[in-house]
Structure 1
Amino acid sequence: MFNLSPVVRLLLFANVIVFFITSQMGDWAVDRFGLHSVLSEKFSPIQLLTHMFMHGGWTHIFSNMIGLIVFGPMLERVWGGPRFFLFYMLTGLGAAALYLGVNYYETSSLVDAYNMYRANPTNGEFVGFMSQYASSIYDRLAPFIQKFDADPTNPLYIKQGQAYVNAIVGAQVDTPMVGASGAIFGVIMAFGLLFPNTELILLFPPIPIKAKYLVLFYGLYEVYSGIYQAQSDNVAHFAHIGGMLFAYILVKLWGSQRKTFY
Protein backbone atom coordinates (compact mmCIF):
# COMPACT_ATOMS: atom_id res chain seq x y z
CA MET A 1 0.00 0.00 0.00
CA PHE A 2 2.82 2.41 0.90
CA ASN A 3 6.01 2.65 -1.15
CA LEU A 4 8.39 3.33 1.71
CA SER A 5 11.71 5.01 1.04
CA PRO A 6 14.85 3.75 2.85
CA VAL A 7 15.17 6.38 5.60
CA VAL A 8 11.42 6.41 6.25
CA ARG A 9 11.57 2.63 6.62
CA LEU A 10 14.53 2.95 9.01
CA LEU A 11 12.77 5.58 11.15
CA LEU A 12 9.58 3.55 11.20
CA PHE A 13 11.50 0.45 12.31
CA ALA A 14 13.41 2.39 14.99
CA ASN A 15 10.27 3.95 16.46
CA VAL A 16 8.36 0.67 16.55
CA ILE A 17 11.24 -1.29 18.08
CA VAL A 18 11.90 1.33 20.75
CA PHE A 19 8.19 1.48 21.53
CA PHE A 20 8.02 -2.29 22.07
CA ILE A 21 11.15 -2.34 24.22
CA THR A 22 10.26 0.63 26.42
CA SER A 23 6.66 -0.51 26.85
CA GLN A 24 8.05 -3.63 28.51
CA MET A 25 10.25 -1.55 30.80
CA GLY A 26 7.36 0.35 32.34
CA ASP A 27 7.36 3.88 33.74
CA TRP A 28 11.09 3.73 34.48
CA ALA A 29 11.97 4.05 30.79
CA VAL A 30 9.67 7.04 30.25
CA ASP A 31 10.97 8.72 33.39
CA ARG A 32 14.58 8.18 32.34
CA PHE A 33 14.43 8.85 28.60
CA GLY A 34 11.39 11.12 28.18
CA LEU A 35 12.12 14.84 27.84
CA HIS A 36 11.88 16.63 31.19
CA SER A 37 11.82 20.33 31.90
CA VAL A 38 15.26 21.89 32.33
CA LEU A 39 14.02 22.91 35.77
CA SER A 40 13.58 19.28 36.74
CA GLU A 41 16.30 17.32 38.50
CA LYS A 42 15.45 14.49 36.10
CA PHE A 43 16.48 16.43 32.99
CA SER A 44 19.36 15.02 30.96
CA PRO A 45 20.66 16.28 27.57
CA ILE A 46 20.36 12.78 26.09
CA GLN A 47 16.59 13.12 26.45
CA LEU A 48 16.62 15.62 23.58
CA LEU A 49 17.22 12.63 21.31
CA THR A 50 15.70 9.70 23.16
CA HIS A 51 12.25 11.25 23.63
CA MET A 52 11.80 11.36 19.84
CA PHE A 53 11.69 7.57 19.62
CA MET A 54 9.36 6.93 22.55
CA HIS A 55 5.57 7.02 22.61
CA GLY A 56 2.82 7.02 25.19
CA GLY A 57 0.67 4.26 23.70
CA TRP A 58 -0.60 2.53 20.56
CA THR A 59 -2.71 5.45 19.40
CA HIS A 60 0.20 7.85 19.84
CA ILE A 61 2.71 5.84 17.82
CA PHE A 62 0.14 4.85 15.20
CA SER A 63 -0.82 8.44 14.40
CA ASN A 64 2.80 9.56 14.23
CA MET A 65 3.94 6.70 12.03
CA ILE A 66 1.01 7.19 9.65
CA GLY A 67 2.16 10.77 9.21
CA LEU A 68 5.71 9.58 8.54
CA ILE A 69 4.81 6.98 5.92
CA VAL A 70 2.27 9.20 4.14
CA PHE A 71 4.32 12.40 3.89
CA GLY A 72 7.92 11.27 4.37
CA PRO A 73 8.71 9.26 1.21
CA MET A 74 8.07 12.12 -1.24
CA LEU A 75 10.33 14.42 0.76
CA GLU A 76 13.06 11.80 0.86
CA ARG A 77 12.87 11.34 -2.91
CA VAL A 78 13.24 15.08 -3.43
CA TRP A 79 16.04 15.65 -0.93
CA GLY A 80 17.72 12.27 -0.80
CA GLY A 81 18.09 10.05 2.25
CA PRO A 82 20.85 11.89 4.16
CA ARG A 83 19.20 15.31 3.87
CA PHE A 84 15.79 13.95 4.79
CA PHE A 85 17.25 12.25 7.87
CA LEU A 86 19.00 15.50 8.83
CA PHE A 87 15.73 17.38 8.36
CA TYR A 88 13.81 14.91 10.52
CA MET A 89 16.30 15.10 13.36
CA LEU A 90 16.67 18.89 13.24
CA THR A 91 12.93 19.49 13.31
CA GLY A 92 12.62 17.06 16.21
CA LEU A 93 15.33 18.91 18.10
CA GLY A 94 13.80 22.27 17.19
CA ALA A 95 10.46 21.08 18.51
CA ALA A 96 12.11 20.06 21.78
CA ALA A 97 13.89 23.42 22.05
CA LEU A 98 10.68 25.44 21.69
CA TYR A 99 8.84 23.13 24.08
CA LEU A 100 11.57 23.51 26.70
CA GLY A 101 11.66 27.28 26.24
CA VAL A 102 7.92 27.68 26.70
CA ASN A 103 7.94 25.23 29.58
CA TYR A 104 10.69 27.22 31.30
CA TYR A 105 8.75 30.46 30.84
CA GLU A 106 5.59 28.90 32.25
CA THR A 107 7.14 27.06 35.19
CA SER A 108 10.05 29.18 36.39
CA SER A 109 7.75 31.32 38.53
CA LEU A 110 6.14 28.14 39.84
CA VAL A 111 9.50 26.78 40.95
CA ASP A 112 10.41 30.10 42.58
CA ALA A 113 7.13 30.09 44.52
CA TYR A 114 7.73 26.46 45.47
CA ASN A 115 11.15 27.26 46.90
CA MET A 116 9.70 30.16 48.88
CA TYR A 117 6.99 27.90 50.27
CA ARG A 118 9.50 25.23 51.28
CA ALA A 119 11.38 27.87 53.26
CA ASN A 120 8.20 28.91 55.08
CA PRO A 121 5.49 26.19 54.86
CA THR A 122 2.74 28.09 56.69
CA ASN A 123 -0.96 27.97 55.98
CA GLY A 124 -0.86 31.48 54.54
CA GLU A 125 1.90 30.54 52.11
CA PHE A 126 0.01 27.36 51.24
CA VAL A 127 -3.17 29.29 50.44
CA GLY A 128 -1.27 31.77 48.31
CA PHE A 129 0.52 29.04 46.35
CA MET A 130 -2.55 26.92 45.69
CA SER A 131 -4.79 29.84 44.75
CA GLN A 132 -2.26 30.95 42.13
CA TYR A 133 -1.02 27.65 40.72
CA ALA A 134 -3.79 25.15 41.48
CA SER A 135 -7.00 27.16 41.33
CA SER A 136 -8.87 24.25 39.72
CA ILE A 137 -8.62 22.18 42.92
CA TYR A 138 -8.58 25.03 45.44
CA ASP A 139 -12.24 24.61 46.44
CA ARG A 140 -11.71 20.91 47.17
CA LEU A 141 -8.97 21.83 49.62
CA ALA A 142 -11.16 24.21 51.63
CA PRO A 143 -11.75 21.75 54.52
CA PHE A 144 -8.01 21.09 54.84
CA ILE A 145 -7.21 24.81 54.67
CA GLN A 146 -9.65 25.50 57.50
CA LYS A 147 -8.07 22.81 59.67
CA PHE A 148 -4.57 24.05 58.86
CA ASP A 149 -5.58 27.61 59.69
CA ALA A 150 -7.05 26.54 63.04
CA ASP A 151 -3.91 24.59 64.01
CA PRO A 152 -1.01 26.08 61.98
CA THR A 153 1.79 24.39 63.96
CA ASN A 154 0.41 20.88 63.63
CA PRO A 155 3.21 18.88 61.94
CA LEU A 156 0.68 16.60 60.23
CA TYR A 157 -0.99 19.56 58.51
CA ILE A 158 2.37 21.03 57.55
CA LYS A 159 3.43 17.71 56.05
CA GLN A 160 0.14 17.32 54.19
CA GLY A 161 0.42 20.84 52.81
CA GLN A 162 3.91 20.07 51.56
CA ALA A 163 2.61 16.90 49.91
CA TYR A 164 -0.08 18.87 48.03
CA VAL A 165 2.44 21.44 46.83
CA ASN A 166 4.96 18.75 45.81
CA ALA A 167 2.28 17.04 43.74
CA ILE A 168 1.41 20.26 41.89
CA VAL A 169 5.04 21.05 41.14
CA GLY A 170 5.81 17.47 40.15
CA ALA A 171 2.89 17.36 37.70
CA GLN A 172 4.14 20.45 35.87
CA VAL A 173 7.91 20.08 36.16
CA ASP A 174 8.61 16.35 36.35
CA THR A 175 6.10 15.08 33.79
CA PRO A 176 8.12 14.06 30.70
CA MET A 177 7.24 14.59 27.05
CA VAL A 178 7.63 11.71 24.62
CA GLY A 179 6.98 11.15 20.95
CA ALA A 180 8.07 11.93 17.41
CA SER A 181 5.24 14.42 16.92
CA GLY A 182 7.53 17.45 16.60
CA ALA A 183 9.47 15.86 13.73
CA ILE A 184 6.26 14.55 12.13
CA PHE A 185 4.68 18.00 12.18
CA GLY A 186 7.88 19.24 10.57
CA VAL A 187 7.48 16.63 7.83
CA ILE A 188 3.87 17.70 7.27
CA MET A 189 4.91 21.36 7.05
CA ALA A 190 7.64 20.59 4.52
CA PHE A 191 5.23 18.54 2.42
CA GLY A 192 2.76 21.43 2.36
CA LEU A 193 5.49 23.87 1.33
CA LEU A 194 6.98 21.69 -1.42
CA PHE A 195 3.74 20.15 -2.71
CA PRO A 196 1.11 22.78 -1.80
CA ASN A 197 -1.49 21.81 -4.39
CA THR A 198 -1.30 18.05 -3.90
CA GLU A 199 -4.77 16.80 -3.01
CA LEU A 200 -5.09 14.55 0.02
CA ILE A 201 -8.10 12.61 1.21
CA LEU A 202 -9.00 13.09 4.84
CA LEU A 203 -10.08 10.10 6.88
CA PHE A 204 -12.76 11.95 8.84
CA PRO A 205 -14.58 13.25 6.87
CA PRO A 206 -13.38 11.52 3.66
CA ILE A 207 -13.08 14.67 1.56
CA PRO A 208 -10.22 15.99 -0.62
CA ILE A 209 -8.10 18.88 0.63
CA LYS A 210 -4.98 20.52 -0.77
CA ALA A 211 -1.83 20.05 1.28
CA LYS A 212 -1.34 23.78 1.85
CA TYR A 213 -4.76 24.09 3.47
CA LEU A 214 -4.16 21.04 5.64
CA VAL A 215 -0.90 22.56 6.89
CA LEU A 216 -2.61 25.90 7.52
CA PHE A 217 -5.36 24.19 9.52
CA TYR A 218 -2.86 22.20 11.59
CA GLY A 219 -0.76 25.30 12.26
CA LEU A 220 -3.68 27.44 13.39
CA TYR A 221 -5.10 24.65 15.52
CA GLU A 222 -1.79 24.04 17.29
CA VAL A 223 -1.25 27.75 18.01
CA TYR A 224 -4.78 28.07 19.39
CA SER A 225 -4.45 24.89 21.46
CA GLY A 226 -1.01 25.83 22.72
CA ILE A 227 -2.28 29.16 24.01
CA TYR A 228 -5.69 28.18 25.35
CA GLN A 229 -5.61 24.42 26.04
CA ALA A 230 -1.99 23.45 26.74
CA GLN A 231 -2.64 22.94 30.45
CA SER A 232 -5.76 20.83 30.02
CA ASP A 233 -5.36 18.31 27.19
CA ASN A 234 -1.96 16.75 28.00
CA VAL A 235 -0.60 17.41 24.49
CA ALA A 236 2.71 19.19 23.83
CA HIS A 237 1.30 21.68 21.32
CA PHE A 238 4.37 23.90 21.41
CA ALA A 239 6.50 20.93 20.37
CA HIS A 240 4.24 20.58 17.31
CA ILE A 241 4.57 24.31 16.61
CA GLY A 242 8.33 24.08 17.05
CA GLY A 243 8.56 21.27 14.53
CA MET A 244 6.56 23.24 11.98
CA LEU A 245 8.53 26.43 12.62
CA PHE A 246 11.92 24.80 12.20
CA ALA A 247 10.67 22.95 9.11
CA TYR A 248 9.61 26.26 7.56
CA ILE A 249 13.03 27.77 8.27
CA LEU A 250 14.90 24.77 6.83
CA VAL A 251 12.78 24.53 3.69
CA LYS A 252 13.19 28.24 2.99
CA LEU A 253 16.93 28.08 3.70
CA TRP A 254 17.48 25.05 1.52
CA GLY A 255 15.24 26.53 -1.14
CA SER A 256 17.53 29.55 -1.39
CA GLN A 257 20.36 27.07 -2.06
CA ARG A 258 18.28 25.01 -4.44
CA LYS A 259 20.93 24.58 -7.11
CA THR A 260 23.22 22.89 -4.60
CA PHE A 261 20.93 20.04 -3.63
CA TYR A 262 18.34 19.39 -6.32
Structure 2
Amino acid sequence: MGNITETIKHLIILNVILFVVPQFLNLDLTNILALHFPQNEHFGFWQYLTSTFMHGSFGHILFNMYGLYAFGTPLEQMWGKKKFLFFYFSTGIGASIIYTLVNYYQFNDAFEKLIELGATKMEIMKLMNPTLIYNDEILQTVNALYNTSALGASGAVYGVLVAFGLYFKEAKLAMIFFPIPIAAKYFIPILLLGDLFFGMTRYSVGNIAHFAHIGGALVGFIIAWYWKKNQFKFS
Protein backbone atom coordinates (compact mmCIF):
# COMPACT_ATOMS: atom_id res chain seq x y z
CA MET A 1 0.00 0.00 0.00
CA GLY A 2 1.24 3.46 -0.86
CA ASN A 3 0.11 6.97 -0.02
CA ILE A 4 -3.57 7.53 -0.66
CA THR A 5 -4.33 8.89 -4.13
CA GLU A 6 -6.59 11.87 -4.80
CA THR A 7 -9.43 9.89 -6.35
CA ILE A 8 -9.48 7.32 -3.55
CA LYS A 9 -9.40 10.12 -0.98
CA HIS A 10 -12.35 11.93 -2.58
CA LEU A 11 -14.39 8.72 -2.86
CA ILE A 12 -13.80 7.97 0.82
CA ILE A 13 -14.71 11.53 1.83
CA LEU A 14 -17.96 11.35 -0.15
CA ASN A 15 -18.87 8.03 1.46
CA VAL A 16 -18.11 9.36 4.93
CA ILE A 17 -20.18 12.51 4.34
CA LEU A 18 -23.20 10.49 3.20
CA PHE A 19 -22.81 8.29 6.28
CA VAL A 20 -22.17 10.92 8.96
CA VAL A 21 -24.20 13.98 7.91
CA PRO A 22 -27.64 12.25 7.72
CA GLN A 23 -27.08 10.89 11.23
CA PHE A 24 -26.31 14.32 12.65
CA LEU A 25 -29.30 15.86 10.86
CA ASN A 26 -31.53 12.87 11.65
CA LEU A 27 -32.22 12.31 7.95
CA ASP A 28 -33.17 8.93 6.52
CA LEU A 29 -32.04 8.84 2.89
CA THR A 30 -32.62 5.11 2.49
CA ASN A 31 -35.83 5.42 0.47
CA ILE A 32 -34.15 7.85 -1.93
CA LEU A 33 -30.58 6.57 -2.31
CA ALA A 34 -30.54 2.87 -1.34
CA LEU A 35 -31.29 0.28 -4.03
CA HIS A 36 -34.88 -0.99 -3.97
CA PHE A 37 -36.62 -3.80 -5.80
CA PRO A 38 -37.78 -2.51 -9.24
CA GLN A 39 -41.49 -2.96 -8.45
CA ASN A 40 -41.19 -1.21 -5.10
CA GLU A 41 -42.66 2.31 -4.96
CA HIS A 42 -39.34 3.70 -3.71
CA PHE A 43 -37.28 2.37 -6.64
CA GLY A 44 -35.37 4.80 -8.86
CA PHE A 45 -32.82 4.10 -11.60
CA TRP A 46 -30.29 6.42 -9.94
CA GLN A 47 -30.14 3.98 -7.03
CA TYR A 48 -27.91 1.64 -9.04
CA LEU A 49 -25.20 4.23 -8.41
CA THR A 50 -26.24 6.12 -5.27
CA SER A 51 -26.63 2.92 -3.24
CA THR A 52 -22.88 2.36 -3.56
CA PHE A 53 -22.27 5.47 -1.45
CA MET A 54 -24.62 4.45 1.37
CA HIS A 55 -23.68 2.34 4.40
CA GLY A 56 -25.65 0.81 7.24
CA SER A 57 -23.13 0.87 10.08
CA PHE A 58 -19.72 2.12 11.14
CA GLY A 59 -18.20 -1.33 10.65
CA HIS A 60 -19.74 -1.55 7.18
CA ILE A 61 -18.23 1.70 5.94
CA LEU A 62 -14.91 1.10 7.74
CA PHE A 63 -14.43 -2.28 6.08
CA ASN A 64 -15.35 -1.01 2.62
CA MET A 65 -13.29 2.17 2.78
CA TYR A 66 -10.25 0.29 4.02
CA GLY A 67 -10.64 -2.16 1.13
CA LEU A 68 -10.99 0.72 -1.32
CA TYR A 69 -7.82 2.33 0.03
CA ALA A 70 -5.75 -0.84 0.32
CA PHE A 71 -6.57 -2.35 -3.07
CA GLY A 72 -7.62 0.73 -5.02
CA THR A 73 -4.51 2.82 -4.39
CA PRO A 74 -2.08 0.70 -6.45
CA LEU A 75 -4.67 0.39 -9.22
CA GLU A 76 -5.19 4.14 -9.51
CA GLN A 77 -1.43 4.67 -9.47
CA MET A 78 -1.18 2.23 -12.37
CA TRP A 79 -4.27 3.23 -14.36
CA GLY A 80 -4.68 6.91 -13.60
CA LYS A 81 -7.68 8.85 -12.29
CA LYS A 82 -10.09 8.62 -15.25
CA LYS A 83 -9.53 4.93 -15.87
CA PHE A 84 -9.92 4.07 -12.19
CA LEU A 85 -13.13 6.09 -11.84
CA PHE A 86 -14.60 4.37 -14.89
CA PHE A 87 -13.68 1.02 -13.40
CA TYR A 88 -15.02 1.83 -9.93
CA PHE A 89 -18.38 3.16 -11.12
CA SER A 90 -18.75 0.31 -13.63
CA THR A 91 -18.20 -2.35 -10.98
CA GLY A 92 -20.51 -0.59 -8.52
CA ILE A 93 -23.34 -0.20 -11.02
CA GLY A 94 -22.71 -3.67 -12.44
CA ALA A 95 -22.92 -5.17 -8.95
CA SER A 96 -26.24 -3.40 -8.35
CA ILE A 97 -27.70 -4.60 -11.66
CA ILE A 98 -26.64 -8.23 -11.19
CA TYR A 99 -27.92 -8.19 -7.61
CA THR A 100 -31.27 -6.87 -8.86
CA LEU A 101 -31.49 -9.50 -11.61
CA VAL A 102 -30.88 -12.31 -9.13
CA ASN A 103 -33.49 -10.88 -6.76
CA TYR A 104 -35.94 -10.47 -9.64
CA TYR A 105 -35.51 -14.11 -10.62
CA GLN A 106 -35.99 -15.28 -7.02
CA PHE A 107 -39.02 -13.02 -6.57
CA ASN A 108 -40.73 -14.22 -9.75
CA ASP A 109 -40.01 -17.84 -8.88
CA ALA A 110 -41.66 -17.47 -5.46
CA PHE A 111 -44.45 -15.34 -6.97
CA GLU A 112 -45.32 -18.08 -9.49
CA LYS A 113 -45.42 -20.66 -6.71
CA LEU A 114 -48.02 -18.55 -4.91
CA ILE A 115 -50.03 -18.27 -8.14
CA GLU A 116 -49.94 -22.06 -8.48
CA LEU A 117 -51.29 -22.33 -4.93
CA GLY A 118 -54.33 -20.30 -5.98
CA ALA A 119 -53.45 -16.73 -5.01
CA THR A 120 -54.12 -13.87 -7.42
CA LYS A 121 -51.55 -11.22 -8.32
CA MET A 122 -53.60 -8.55 -6.55
CA GLU A 123 -53.84 -10.66 -3.39
CA ILE A 124 -50.10 -11.25 -3.37
CA MET A 125 -49.23 -7.58 -3.84
CA LYS A 126 -51.48 -6.68 -0.90
CA LEU A 127 -49.25 -8.88 1.24
CA MET A 128 -46.13 -6.85 0.41
CA ASN A 129 -46.44 -4.74 3.56
CA PRO A 130 -42.97 -4.41 5.19
CA THR A 131 -44.51 -4.50 8.68
CA LEU A 132 -46.03 -7.95 8.17
CA ILE A 133 -44.23 -11.10 9.33
CA TYR A 134 -45.05 -14.47 7.80
CA ASN A 135 -44.41 -18.02 8.94
CA ASP A 136 -44.78 -19.32 5.39
CA GLU A 137 -41.39 -19.56 3.66
CA ILE A 138 -42.62 -18.46 0.23
CA LEU A 139 -44.40 -15.41 1.65
CA GLN A 140 -41.28 -14.53 3.64
CA THR A 141 -39.24 -14.67 0.45
CA VAL A 142 -41.43 -12.44 -1.72
CA ASN A 143 -41.97 -9.96 1.11
CA ALA A 144 -38.26 -9.71 1.92
CA LEU A 145 -37.20 -9.35 -1.72
CA TYR A 146 -39.84 -6.71 -2.37
CA ASN A 147 -39.11 -4.59 0.70
CA THR A 148 -35.41 -5.05 1.47
CA SER A 149 -33.12 -2.29 0.20
CA ALA A 150 -29.42 -2.76 -0.56
CA LEU A 151 -26.63 -0.33 0.19
CA GLY A 152 -22.87 -0.24 0.37
CA ALA A 153 -19.73 0.00 -1.73
CA SER A 154 -18.99 -3.72 -1.29
CA GLY A 155 -19.77 -4.62 -4.91
CA ALA A 156 -17.40 -1.97 -6.25
CA VAL A 157 -14.76 -2.91 -3.67
CA TYR A 158 -15.00 -6.56 -4.72
CA GLY A 159 -14.37 -5.44 -8.29
CA VAL A 160 -11.33 -3.52 -7.10
CA LEU A 161 -10.16 -6.54 -5.11
CA VAL A 162 -10.41 -8.86 -8.12
CA ALA A 163 -8.52 -6.39 -10.31
CA PHE A 164 -5.84 -6.13 -7.63
CA GLY A 165 -5.56 -9.91 -7.66
CA LEU A 166 -5.13 -10.00 -11.44
CA TYR A 167 -2.27 -7.51 -11.37
CA PHE A 168 -0.67 -8.50 -8.05
CA LYS A 169 -1.21 -12.25 -7.87
CA GLU A 170 1.52 -12.96 -5.33
CA ALA A 171 0.51 -10.22 -2.87
CA LYS A 172 -0.22 -11.75 0.53
CA LEU A 173 -3.73 -11.17 1.92
CA ALA A 174 -5.39 -12.21 5.18
CA MET A 175 -8.69 -11.76 7.02
CA ILE A 176 -9.39 -10.87 10.66
CA PHE A 177 -10.93 -14.27 11.43
CA PHE A 178 -8.28 -16.09 9.34
CA PRO A 179 -5.04 -14.16 9.95
CA ILE A 180 -2.78 -16.44 7.88
CA PRO A 181 -1.40 -14.59 4.81
CA ILE A 182 -2.33 -16.23 1.50
CA ALA A 183 -1.37 -15.17 -2.03
CA ALA A 184 -4.08 -13.10 -3.72
CA LYS A 185 -4.41 -15.63 -6.55
CA TYR A 186 -5.69 -18.17 -3.98
CA PHE A 187 -7.27 -15.87 -1.39
CA ILE A 188 -9.68 -14.07 -3.73
CA PRO A 189 -11.17 -17.19 -5.41
CA ILE A 190 -11.73 -18.72 -1.95
CA LEU A 191 -13.48 -15.53 -0.82
CA LEU A 192 -15.71 -15.54 -3.91
CA LEU A 193 -16.58 -19.21 -3.51
CA GLY A 194 -17.66 -18.38 0.03
CA ASP A 195 -19.94 -15.62 -1.24
CA LEU A 196 -21.39 -17.94 -3.87
CA PHE A 197 -22.03 -20.64 -1.27
CA PHE A 198 -23.68 -18.30 1.22
CA GLY A 199 -25.65 -16.58 -1.53
CA MET A 200 -27.14 -19.87 -2.71
CA THR A 201 -27.84 -21.38 0.72
CA ARG A 202 -29.49 -20.31 3.96
CA TYR A 203 -26.29 -20.31 5.99
CA SER A 204 -25.49 -16.63 5.48
CA VAL A 205 -24.87 -14.63 8.66
CA GLY A 206 -26.36 -11.14 8.67
CA ASN A 207 -27.97 -9.14 5.91
CA ILE A 208 -25.21 -9.48 3.31
CA ALA A 209 -25.82 -9.02 -0.43
CA HIS A 210 -23.57 -11.85 -1.58
CA PHE A 211 -24.67 -11.61 -5.21
CA ALA A 212 -23.74 -7.92 -5.26
CA HIS A 213 -20.24 -9.00 -4.24
CA ILE A 214 -20.17 -11.62 -6.98
CA GLY A 215 -21.60 -9.17 -9.51
CA GLY A 216 -18.97 -6.55 -8.74
CA ALA A 217 -16.24 -9.17 -8.88
CA LEU A 218 -17.48 -10.46 -12.25
CA VAL A 219 -17.66 -7.01 -13.85
CA GLY A 220 -14.31 -6.09 -12.32
CA PHE A 221 -12.69 -9.25 -13.65
CA ILE A 222 -13.97 -8.69 -17.19
CA ILE A 223 -12.78 -5.08 -17.35
CA ALA A 224 -9.43 -5.67 -15.63
CA TRP A 225 -8.72 -8.79 -17.67
CA TYR A 226 -9.43 -6.92 -20.91
CA TRP A 227 -7.24 -3.98 -19.91
CA LYS A 228 -4.41 -6.24 -18.80
CA LYS A 229 -4.58 -8.25 -22.00
CA ASN A 230 -4.52 -5.11 -24.16
CA GLN A 231 -2.32 -2.85 -22.04
CA PHE A 232 0.44 -2.70 -24.63
CA LYS A 233 -2.00 -1.96 -27.45
CA PHE A 234 -3.79 0.95 -25.79
CA SER A 235 -1.31 2.35 -23.26
- When the two structures are superposed, what TM-score results if normalisation uses the length of structure 2? 0.85
1:105 CA displacement: 0.3
> Could you tell me which amino acid in structure 1 is paired with residue 200 of structure 2?
I
Structure 1 counterpart of 2:30, one-letter code = V
The one-letter code matched in structure 1 to 2:159 is G
Map 1:170-189 → 2, pairs under 5 A: 170-189=143-162
Aligned partner of 2:214 in structure 1 is: 241
User: 1-side partners of 2:158 and 2:174: how far apart?
Assistant: 18
Which has the higher mean CA deviation after the structures are superposed, 224-233 or 80-89?
A: 224-233
Matched letter for residue 200 of structure 1: L
Query: Partner of 1:234: helix, strand, or coil?
Result: coil
> Hey, what does 1:153 align to over in structure 2?
none
Letter in 2 for 1:188: L
- Tell whether the 8 Å contact from 2:166 to 2:225 is kept in structure 1 after alignment: no
1:207 deviates by 2.6
Match of 1:133 in 2: 138
Supply the distance in 2 between the matched residues of 1:21 and 1:120 (Cα, whole angstroms).
38
Consecutive unaligned residues of structure 1, counting only runs of 5 or more, are: 122-128, 136-167
CA distance in 2 between counterparts of 1:120 and 1:213 reads 45
The aligned counterpart of 2:90 is: 90
Distance 1:176 1:202, change over 3 A: closer
In structure 2, do the counterparts of structure 1 residues 213 and 231 end up closer, same or farther at CA, with 3 Å as the change threshold? closer
Question: What whole-Å deviation, never above 9, does each CA across 1:2-34 have from its counterpart, x for those lacking one?
Answer: 610111111111111111123345573112210
Aligned to 1:195: 168
After TM superposition, give the deviation of residue 110 of structure 1 in Å.
4.0
Asked if 2 retains the 8 angstrom alpha-carbon contact of 1:181 and 1:240, the reply is yes
The structure whose residues are more often helix, as a share, is 1
2:55 is the alignment partner of 1:55: yes
CA contact 2:111–2:142 (8 Å) conserved in 1: yes
Deviation at 1:68, TM superposition (A): 0.7
The count of residues paired between Structure 1 and Structure 2 equals 223
Matches of 2:123 and 2:175, distance apart in 1: 55
1:73 maps to a residue whose letter is T
Matched, 1:45 2:18: no
Tell me which residue corresponds to 1:226: 199
How far, CA to CA, are the matches of 1:242 and 1:173 in structure 2?
Answer: 20
| Alpha-carbon separation, structure 1, partners of 2:96 and 2:124 | 35
Matched, 1:217 2:190: yes
Match in the other structure for 2:128: none
Q: Which residue of 2 aligns with 1:147?
A: none
- What is the deviation of 1:51? 0.4
In the alignment, the residues of structure 2 paired with residue 105 and residue 27 of structure 1 have an alpha-carbon distance, to the nearest angstrom, of: 32
Q: What is the percentage of aligned positions where both structures have the same residue?
A: 36
SS in 1 for 2:7: helix
Unaligned 5+ segments in structure 2 are 126-133
> Whole-Å Cα distance in 2 between the matches of residues 207 and 67 of structure 1?
18
User: In the TM superposition, what whole-angstrom CA distance separates every residue of 1:179-213 from its partner, at most 9, and x where no partner exists?
Assistant: 00000001110111110011235444433221111
**Which deviates the most, 110-119 or 61-70?**
110-119
The answer to whether structure 1 residue 33 and structure 2 residue 28 are counterparts is: no
Task: Find the residue that maps to 1:206 and give its secondary structure.
Answer: strand
TM-score by length of 1: 0.76
Segment drifting more, 38-47 vs 19-28: 19-28
Q: 1:55 to 1:230 in 2, by over 3 A?
A: farther
Moved more, 31-40 or 105-114: 105-114
